[in-house]
Amino acid sequence: MSHTSDLLTGLAGSIASAGIGTYLTGSSVFTAGQTGIGIGQLPETTDRAIAITDYGTAGDEITQPITTIAVQVLCRSNRNDRLDLASLRDSIFQLLQGMTHVNYGTCHVIQARRISSVPLGLDENDRWLQADNYYFDCNTPASAYRS
């Protein structure tokens, strides 16, 4: 896997380990009542869900293997429950904001911080959506020009 893949799957695992949601790999299926965690998209089989997606970098050092990876954490609430969305987002914020020196495979998180939050309203099934955006400053594997 790449350092970005390691970061995304590591974050999904940390959110699951904290009891905030359930991260399944392979062909497993979420059950009713679970908070599903997906990489790149919201799980379709649960109302309450989290999607973790990278959307580029916010800066790369030229000669050192340090980069800032931008990650969106998209949350969806249970139906007709705006306060459920706040609870879900707050739990994730408490876990990620200020994270320092955590290793996820080939990615070492130096520090993490939320940079923005965007309410997205209701979906077609009356579930609230909101995207929180984080920057993860990371040490990544060395390369020929970044040692």
Cα-flanking dihedrals φ and ψ of residue 143, to 5°? -135, -175
In a domain, 46, yes or no: yes
- Give the pLDDT band of residue 147 (cuts 50, 70, 90): confident
Q: Which residue is associated with the tokens 């969106």?
A: 72
Question: What is the CATH classification number for the domain harbouring 123?
Answer: 3.30.2000.10
Residue 131 confidence (pLDDT) above 90: yes
Residue 35: its pLDDT value, please? Answer: 95
pLDDT tens figures, 59-85: 877 778 889 999 999 999 999 999 999
In a domain, 146, yes or no: no
Residue 58: its pLDDT value, please? Answer: 77
pLDDT tens figures, 94-127: 999 999 999 999 999 999 999 999 999 999 999 9
Measured CA angle at 137 (ends 129, 132), to 5 deg: 10
Query: Quick one: average pLDDT of 126-147?
Result: 90
* Residue 10: domain span: 3-139
d(CA 70, CA 54): 6
Q: How many domains does the chain have?
A: 1
pLDDT tens figures, 12-53: 999 999 999 999 887 778 888 899 999 999 988 899 999 999
Higher pLDDT, 33 or 129: 129
